[in-house]
């Protein structure tokens, strides 16, 4: 089988099924959507925000940089990083079907710098070997988000970008054992039930989800060892939840 025939067969496999992300093949064809494009705006807004951050913070030659996309799903943002010229991009996900999807697209886009691994985030070694770590759309599907943030810090050499759903913030003072010993609230979590959705490829694997407030997330990132963290700006025409602060993308630096 020659190269053109093999590429045709790979593209045919991709076109024969539906995808969660707005992928366009090298020949210009759009891959079929699993949701008729209803949620494409969130992905394209995230992509634009990531591009803006890369242009501002990682301008120039990126060939010696290594990145990790944690819970990469079908690899949309890992592929974006690989095409942006990072020397090595590792795409990790706990679901084998997602890894298979990324491997198919990696061949279609001919991305030799993109590598896959099936791995739970909590099982990853604490190597701090990645210049950039992405954690998009994961945190609010976890029952241990603080542990995930600790793991993110342990994996990060320089910068970590986290995108997550957030809940309304609570502030004030709390009696901590006695009315004359009070402590300030630094943030809060909302408990979300996905117990009946663990079969879904975009849902939690345990069904118990803790979504942070923005203020709590920023405090936690510093508490687990990042030197500082900031909420990234959203395009004026970006996805409504990001524009209105119901989701955030945060950049944390070591």
Residue 55: the pLDDT is: 97
Fold of the domain built from segment(s) 39-253 = Rossmann fold (3.40.50)
Instruction: Check if the beta carbon of residue 62 is closer than 8 Å to that of residue 87.
Output: yes
Residue with tokens 């609570």: 170
Strands (E) in 21-123, as ranges, are 66-70, 88-93, 114-118
Interval 78-84 mean pLDDT: 98
Please give the Cα distance from 125 to 151 (Å, whole number): 9
Strands (E) in 27-172, as ranges, are 66-70, 88-93, 114-118, 130-136, 156-165
240-252 per-position pLDDT tens digit: 999 999 999 999 9
User: What's the whole-number average pLDDT of the chain?
Assistant: 95
Q: Which residues are paired to 249 by β-bridges?
A: 163
> Could you tell me the pLDDT band of residue 47, with boundaries at 50, 70 and 90?
very high
12: nearest Cα among 153, 177, 1, 253: 1
Instruction: Check if the beta carbon of residue 249 is closer than 8 Å to that of residue 163.
Output: yes
156-202 per-position pLDDT tens digit: 999 999 999 999 999 999 999 999 999 999 999 999 999 999 888 88
Residue 200: the pLDDT is: 84
189-245 per-position pLDDT tens digit: 999 999 999 888 888 889 999 999 999 999 999 999 999 999 999 999 999 999 999
Residue 203: the pLDDT is: 82
Please give the Cα distance from 236 to 50 (Å, whole number): 15
Please give the Cα distance from 161 to 82 (Å, whole number): 16
Q: Delimit the domains of the chain by residue range.
A: 39-253
Percent above pLDDT 90 for the chain? 91
Render the burial of 147-186: b for 16+ CB within 10 Å, e for the rest.
ebbbbbbebbeebbbbbbbbbebeeeeeeeeeeeeeeeeb
Strands (E) in 96-152, as ranges, are 114-118, 130-136
């Amino acid at each position: 089988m020659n190269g053109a025939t093999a590429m045709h067969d790979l593209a045919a496999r991709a076109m024969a099924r539906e995808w969660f992300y707005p992928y366009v093949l090298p020949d210009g064809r759009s891959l079929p959507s699993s949701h008729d494009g209803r949620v494409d705006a969130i992905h394209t807004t995230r992509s634009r925000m990531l591009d803006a951050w890369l242009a501002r913070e990682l301008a120039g030659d990126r060939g010696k940089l290594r990145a990790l996309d944690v819970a990469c799903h079908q690899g949309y943002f890992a592929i974006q990083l690989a095409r942006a010229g990072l020397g090595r991009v590792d795409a990790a996900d706990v679901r084998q079907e997602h890894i298979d999807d990324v491997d198919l697209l990696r061949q279609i886009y001919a991305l030799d710098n993109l590598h896959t691994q099936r791995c739970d985030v909590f099982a990853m070694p604490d190597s701090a070997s990645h210049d950039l770590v992405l954690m998009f759309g994961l945190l609010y599907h976890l029952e241990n988000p603080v542990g995930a943030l600790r793991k993110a810090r342990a994996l990060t050499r320089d910068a970590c970008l986290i995108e997550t759903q957030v809940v309304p913030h609570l502030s004030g003072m709390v009696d901590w054992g006695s009315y004359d010993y009070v402590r300030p609230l630094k943030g809060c979590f909302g408990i979300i039930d996905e117990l009946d959705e663990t079969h879904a490829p975009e849902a939690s694997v345990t069904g118990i989800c803790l979504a942070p407030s923005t203020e709590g997330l920023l405090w936690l990132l510093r508490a687990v060892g990042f030197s500082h963290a900031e909420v990234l700006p959203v395009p004026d025409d970006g996805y409504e939840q990001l524009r209105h602060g119901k989701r955030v993308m945060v950049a944390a630096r070591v």
